[in-house]
Amino acid sequence: MKLVIVESPTKARTISRFLGKEYKIKFSMGHVMDLPKSTLGVDLENNFKPIFELVGDKKKIIADLKQSAKSAERIILATDPDREGEAIASHVKDMLGSNSIRQSGGQNSKFTRIVFHEITKEAIEEALKNPRAIDVRLVDAQTGRRVLDRLVGYKLSPLLWRKVRRGLSAGRVQSVALRLIVEREREIENFKKDPYFTITAFVKKGNIENIPFELIEIDNEKIEIQNKIKLYDGEYKFAKTTIEKEQDAQRILDDLNNKPFTVLDVLTKETRRTPPPPYTTSTLQQDAARRLGLNGRRAMSLAQKLYEEGYITYHRTDSVSISSSAMNSLINFIKKEYGEKYVPPKPRFYTTRQKLAQEAHEAIRPTKIQNSEFIIQNELGRDYGKLYGLIWRRAVASQMTDAITQSTTVFADAKGERNFRFRANGSVLIFDGFLKVNPQALQDNKLPEFQKAEVLRPTRIEKVFHKTLPPSRYNDASLIKSLEEEGIGRPSTYATIVSTIEARSYIDREQGKFIPTSVGIAVNDFLVANFSTIDDIPFTAFMEDELDNIAHGKKDWRPMIKEFYMPFEKKLEEVQNADRVKIAVEETNEKCPECGSPLVVRTGRFGKFLACSKFPKCKFTKPFVQETSFLCPKDRAKIVIKKTRKGRKFYGCSNYPACTFAAWRLENIKKEISA
């Protein structure tokens, strides 16, 4: 009997469809060994040796694996093809092979490691033909990350308990993500909103009314000013006009009153749009947030299931390449379904932006192009089908022809006391190309034909007041994009980073945007004030590069940890005498029923609550209830926002427990109401 070990029951079930009776498939449910929860688990006196132990709540699974291994002639480790999967395989091997006879080089002949990037019959058979040993470099990189994160988390968290508030915790990568959000909030608060006006003339041409011409020049001087400010994670560019006062805008309108416009020039050009590459982990999460409203954790959970069921390739990757066989399959499908004109002269090859693509993975793509979104929806459910549809359309579009648009720009002049130049823009899609399968928010804005020297008479001219807008708050998509661009974290960590700081109540969501809580701001300010070199983008990105070097055999993880830890330990000692940080509180109009003092909003481990402002003299508290505009479909009471113990937000009836209605998303409440 040959024993195949994977991580999950779903993956085991899918693989079992492709293997014969001589194979037994078992699963580990993730890691079987980890650092202890109650202690540091790193021997600081013995070159940072990690003290891994068997995971306590997996006794039955571990016992079953050990029992199956006794009668196995061969043990095949088939965990995921990344650093974490390699570490799981190594720990399983250590656990099952601890009493086996080891051959030279520290290997055990009973164990082999296989790797595949999609769960299909062909991929499994190919992997079995090409077994290999466990890649120690990848295991070392994962071990280095685990030790580094444990040292930061377990050394900083007790300090936060003493200096900020009990129950708080810090993480190496999560703290930088929190800093991005806090810094952005302050950049928004400090942004100066300058007033300005735009001038638009509306023209009628034939049957087309309200063709907008925007003022762009006065006396041959452009009126648009481009500005940029430096942000914590880059630059923010915005524009305004030189028309800053209403009287100036009105003077322009008076000057243009009843003045004819003369067409100066009509410019027409073709623009080609190239399809984007297939999805990486980051771009999939970004589009899942933008188009489907899914947070990173939910998107990755759906993708995990799609991968384990054999419908997509491995979903943790920063590579944009696809195999030659997959490329040929896509091209043949496009020819058959859409015709030769949708196939480019040569196959498209995309270049990975990252310095080191994650362990030579493929991009995320369907394993069989014939599987449609509707098939997946019927098999697994609506959300799975929608995410699969994104992946399918992006992969197919990546091997299709360019979309071609024709853009037209019309310039018109008007003369009063000063000379004014206006511009109208239009565009028309003349060949859809890849947009046929992956449509985007493009709308034709066809201008009528204008002739040079043609005289136009506007039907009206308007001035519109504006203010320069500050940079936007982060949402799931923009935060993940920033993390990737700055080199913070890796594909497997993006979703966890966001969900962790949200679960700790360091951030809130408001209309899909991230806002730091008072606790999050206090934690961030303390870390920045005392550990600015660690809680910063350059350091975090540098450490990711170091872990990549370990994965590629260029460095050993122990010297890297030592180089970090020695100054870190010294800084920990210095900060013991730092001042305690006071968490800001939000006052309310409610009075404490016990002492009459104002109630304030505080943030605890499980989110916000109301407390007496005289604490600790008065210890009155009560839940903080944030209402929505929706009514419960069952009893018409107010729907309120709640949080689970793990920090996940949901919507429930304010009459709980009398009414137990709850929903994860507002869309589900709307459906219940309409039904």
Tens digit of each residue's pLDDT (9 = 90 or more) over 85-138: 999 999 999 999 854 433 334 445 799 999 999 999 999 999 999 999 999 999
- pLDDT at position 103 is 35
Which tokens belong to 286? 């970004």
Measured CA distances, 571 to 461, 531, 567, 621 (Å): 64, 8, 6, 37
Helix/strand/coil for 627: strand
Task: Name the phi and psi angles at 88, rounded to 5.
Answer: -60, -45
Q: Are residues 533 and 497 in the same domain?
A: yes
Q: Are residues 100 and 154 in the same domain?
A: no
Percent of the chain with pLDDT over 90: 74
Round to whole Å and give the CA distance between 233 and 176. 11
388 counts as catalytic = no
Per-residue confidence at 251, pLDDT binned at 50, 70, 90? Answer: very high
Q: Which amino acid is at 39?
A: T
- pLDDT at position 367 is 96
In a domain, 152, yes or no: yes
Per-residue confidence at 478, pLDDT binned at 50, 70, 90? Answer: very high
Q: Which residues are 408's β-sheet partners?
A: 268, 426
Of the residues 95, 117, 134, the one at which a domain ends = 134
Of the residues 544, 575, 606, the one at which a domain ends = 575
DSSP code for 106: G
- pLDDT at position 403 is 95
| Burial class for 253, CB neighbours closer than 10 Å (0-12, 13-18, 19+) | middle
Tens digit of each residue's pLDDT (9 = 90 or more) over 134-186: 999 999 999 999 999 999 999 999 999 999 988 889 999 999 999 999 999 99
DSSP code for 14: H
Q: Are residues 478 and 565 in the same domain?
A: yes
- pLDDT at position 634 is 87
Residue 427's nearest CA partner among 404, 401, 450 is: 404
Helix/strand/coil for 673: helix
pTM for the whole structure: 0.87
Round to whole Å and give the CA distance between 145 and 649. 29
Domain count, the chain: 6
Tens digit of each residue's pLDDT (9 = 90 or more) over 354-381: 544 444 579 999 999 999 999 999 999 9
The answer, yes or no, to whether residue 511 has pLDDT greater than 90, is no
In a domain, 452, yes or no: yes
Q: Are residues 261 and 364 in the same domain?
A: no
Of the residues 575, 595, 614, the one at which a domain ends = 575
Looking at mean pLDDT, say which of 98-107, 536-545, 636-645 comes out highest: 536-545
Per-residue confidence at 441, pLDDT binned at 50, 70, 90? Answer: low
In a domain, 77, yes or no: yes
Tens digit of each residue's pLDDT (9 = 90 or more) over 555-604: 999 999 999 999 999 999 999 988 888 888 888 888 999 998 999 988 77
Q: Are residues 127 and 6 in the same domain?
A: yes
In a domain, 210, yes or no: yes
**Beta carbons of 247 and 204 less than 8 angstroms apart:** no
- Catalytic member of 23, 196, 314, 651: 314
**Hey, how many other C-beta atoms are within 10 angstroms of the C-beta on 50?**
18
Handedness of CA 558, 560, 563, 566 (dihedral sign): negative
Backbone Cα Rg of the chain: 30
In a domain, 108, yes or no: yes
The answer, yes or no, to whether residue 270 has pLDDT greater than 80, is yes
**Beta carbons of 592 and 598 less than 8 angstroms apart:** yes
**Beta carbons of 232 and 180 less than 8 angstroms apart:** yes
Q: Which amino acid is at 99?
A: N
CATH of the domain at 339: 1.10.290.10
- pLDDT at position 53 is 95
Widest CA span in the chain: 97
Round to whole Å and give the CA distance between 492 and 490. 6
Q: Are residues 6 and 129 in the same domain?
A: yes
**Beta carbons of 411 and 263 less than 8 angstroms apart:** yes
Q: Are residues 328 and 380 in the same domain?
A: yes
CATH of the domain at 485: 1.10.460.10
CATH of the domain at 268: 2.70.20.10
Q: Are residues 12 and 119 in the same domain?
A: yes
- pLDDT at position 66 is 94
Looking at mean pLDDT, say which of 45-49, 590-594, 615-619 comes out highest: 45-49
- pLDDT at position 233 is 92
Which residue in the block uniquely carries the two structure tokens 């002492």?
595
What range does the domain containing 318 cover? 281-397
**Hey, how many other C-beta atoms are within 10 angstroms of the C-beta on 557?**
25
Q: Are residues 441 and 503 in the same domain?
A: no
In a domain, 204, yes or no: yes
The string of DSSP letters for 80-96 reads -SSHHHHHHHHHHHHHH
Q: Are residues 258 and 310 in the same domain?
A: no
Question: pLDDT higher for 629 or 52?
Answer: 52
Which tokens belong to 36? 């202890």
In a domain, 580, yes or no: no
CATH of the domain at 120: 3.40.50.140
DSSP code for 311: S
The answer, yes or no, to whether residue 252 has pLDDT greater than 80, is yes
Q: Are residues 29 and 119 in the same domain?
A: yes
Helix axes 518-530, 136-163, angle to 10 degrees: 110
The answer, yes or no, to whether residue 412 has pLDDT greater than 60, is yes
In a domain, 490, yes or no: yes
Q: Are residues 7 and 121 in the same domain?
A: yes
